[in-house]
Chains A and B, each alone.
Chain A
Amino acid sequence: MKYADEFRDKEIAVGLAKAIRAEANKARPYRFMEFCGGHTHAISRYGLEDVLPTNVRMIHGPGCPVCVLPAGRIDMAIGLAMRPEVILCVYGDLMRVPGSQGASLLKAKARGADVRMVYSTIDAIRIAEENSAREVVFFAIGFETTTPPTAVMIRMAEKKRLSNFSVFCNHVLTPPAMKNILESSDIGDKGQFEIDGFVGPAHVSTIIGTEPYEFFAKEFSKPVVISGFEPLDMLQSILMLVRQINEHRYEVENQYRRAVTRDGNLRAREEISDVFELRDRFEWRGLGQVPYSGLRLKRSYAIYDAELRFEMQELCVADNRACECGAILRGVKKPVDCKLFGTLCTPEMPMGSCMVSSEGACAAYWAYSRFRDHRQRRAS
Chain B
Amino acid sequence: MTLVKEAPARPAQKRSAAPAAGRRGRRRENLAGYLFMSPWIAGFLLLTAGPMIASLYYAFTSYNLFTPPKWVGLDNFTTMFQDPRWQKSVEVTLKYVVVATPLKLLLALGVALLLAQNRRGQALYRAAFYMPSLIGASVSVGFVWRALFSDDAVVDRTQKVFGLDVGGWIGNPDYVLYSLVALSIWQFGAPMVIFLAGLKQVPQELYEAAEMDGAGPLRRFWNITLPMISPVLFFNVLLESIHAFQVFGSAYVVSDTRCGPADATLVYTCYLYQKGFKESQMGFASAMAWTLVIAVALVTAVLFWSQKKWVHYEEAAK
Q: Do A and B come from one complex?
A: no
